C-alpha cells in the first residue's frame, strides 16, 4: 500500500512548478485565481517564468525548484503548471527520499507521467493525475474538472460510471488492484530505464494526444512486447485526443484498434474515461487500489489523501 499524503486545509500554502515546458502565462493567471478560490495560498517557483528553448529553464533550475518545494514544510502540495516536454530529463537528478520523507500532494498529467511513475516506483507515494494549472485556464472547462480538486481536502472514494461519460467494455471481468500509468508516450519512454512503469498485478491507465492510429498502434505494440499487458490486472483507456489519421489514410478506428489488442484479454478493459487531454479531465489518484468492473462499466478509487 502506497503512502497517501495528508489532505489540504483552507489557508494552506501550495507550490507551483514547471518541471517540463513553460506554461501559458495568461491561462496560468486564470488558474491561480481558481487556486485562491479554493482557500489556498501559493508560491510560484522560478521555473514557472523561466524559458530555455522548449523547457521551463535549465534542467538544474527545474530540479532545484521542485526539490525546494518538496523540502519546504510550509508547502503542503505541489501543482505542475504545465506539461509539454522535459520531465524525463530531470527524473534521474531528483532525490526520491525527499518525497518519502516529506510526503505531500503532487498533481499534474501528460509529460508529468514520467515523474508520477518515478515517484510511484522510488518513493512509494500516491500522486495525482489531473489537469495542469495552465490547462485549467482555457475556455469552456466543465465544472466537474474543477470539482475534482475537492478530493484533496476531503478524502472520498471516486466512483466513475456512465453518468460521467459513455464507456465501452472491450474485455469483461472485474478486478481490484492499484492503478498506475498516464500518458502512453511517456510510459513507452520509461521502458528500459530505472523508472520503467511496473504493471505487475496493477490496472494500467493510458491516454494521449496528437497521435494518429498508426502511432498509437506502435506504442501499444511496444508495451505488448515489453509484456506490460501480459503482467497487468486490467486496462483503463482514457482520452485519445486529436487522433485523426494523417500519413495513413487507411487507418482503423480507435475502437477497432483497441479491440484488436484487448478483445481476447482474460482481464477487464474499458475505454471512454475522461482522463487526459480534453476540457473534461477528471483528476484521480495514482497508486491507490481501484475496482475496475468491466461488466458493470464502473471504476471506483479509494481516497488519495489521508
Average pLDDT over residues 145-168: 98
**CATH class, 13-152 region:** alpha beta
H or E stretch at 16: strand 13-17
pLDDT at position 1 over 90: no
Residue range 162-186, pLDDT digits in tens: 999 999 999 999 999 999 999 999 9
pLDDT at position 30 over 90: yes
H or E stretch at 105: strand 105-108
What is the CATH T-level fold of the domain 158-301, as seen in this structure? Glucose Oxidase; domain 1 (3.50.30)
Q: Which of the residues are catalytic?
A: 110, 207, 277
- Measured CA to CA, the distance from residue 155 to residue 20 in angstroms comes to 29
Q: Provide the whole-model pTM.
A: 0.98
Strands 75-80 and 269-271: unpaired
- Cβ–Cβ < 8 Å for 81, 17: yes
Residues in the chain: 306
Residue range 119-130, pLDDT digits in tens: 999 999 999 999
What are the residue boundaries of the structural domains of the chain, listed by start? 13-152, 158-301
Residue range 106-119, pLDDT digits in tens: 999 999 999 999 99
pLDDT score for 74: 98
Q: Which of 49, 43, 40 is nearest to 21 (CA)?
A: 49
In 10 A of CB 225, how many CB atoms? 11
Please report which confidence band the pLDDT of residue 302 belongs to, taking 50, 70 and 90 as the band edges.
very high
* Opening angle at CA 285, ends 77 and 164, nearest 5: 120
Amino acid at each position: 500500500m502506497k503512502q497517501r499524503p495528508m489532505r489540504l486545509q483552507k489557508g494552506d500554502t501550495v507550490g507551483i512548478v514547471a518541471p517540463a515546458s513553460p506554461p501559458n502565462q495568461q491561462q496560468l493567471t486564470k488558474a491561480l485565481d481558481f487556486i485562491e478560490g479554493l482557500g489556498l495560498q501559493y508560491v510560484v517557483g522560478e521555473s514557472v517564468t523561466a524559458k530555455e528553448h522548449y523547457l521551463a529553464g535549465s534542467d538544474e533550475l527545474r530540479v532545484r525548484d521542485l526539490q525546494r518545494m518538496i523540502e519546504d514544510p510550509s508547502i503542503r502540495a505541489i501543482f505542475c503548471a504545465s506539461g509539454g516536454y522535459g520531465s524525463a530529463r530531470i527524473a534521474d537528478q531528483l532525490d526520491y527520499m525527499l518525497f518519502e520523507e516529506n510526503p505531500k500532494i503532487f498533481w499534474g498529467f501528460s509529460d508529468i507521467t514520467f515523474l508520477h511513475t518515478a515517484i510511484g516506483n522510488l518513493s512509494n507515494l500516491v500522486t495525482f493525475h489531473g489537469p495542469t494549472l495552465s490547462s485549467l485556464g482555457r475556455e469552456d472547462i466543465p465544472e466537474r474538472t474543477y470539482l475534482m480538486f475537492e478530493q484533496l481536502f476531503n478524502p472520498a472514494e471516486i466512483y466513475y460510471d456512465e453518468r460521467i461519460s459513455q464507456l465501452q467494455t472491450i474485455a469483461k471481468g472485474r478486478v481490484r488492484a492499484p492503478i498506475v500509468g498516464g500518458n502512453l508516450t511517456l510510459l513507452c519512454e520509461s521502458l528500459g530505464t530505472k523508472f520503467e512503469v511496473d504493471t505487475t498485478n496493477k490496472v494500467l491507465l493510458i491516454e494521449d494526444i496528437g497521435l494518429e492510429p498508426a502511432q498509437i498502434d506502435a506504442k501499444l505494440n511496444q508495451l505488448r512486447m515489453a509484456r506490460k499487458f501480459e503482467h497487468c490486472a486490467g486496462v483503463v483507456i482514457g482520452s485519445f485526443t486529436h487522433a485523426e489519421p494523417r500519413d495513413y489514410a487507411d487507418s482503423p478506428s480507435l475502437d477497432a484498434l483497441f479491440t484488436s489488442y484487448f478483445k481476447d484479454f482474460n482481464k477487464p478493459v474499458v475505454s471512454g474515461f475522461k482522463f487526459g487531454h480534453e476540457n473534461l479531465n477528471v483528476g484521480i489518484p495514482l497508486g491507490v487500489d481501484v475496482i475496475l468492473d468491466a461488466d458493470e462499466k464502473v471504476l471506483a478509487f479509494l481516497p488519495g489523501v489521508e
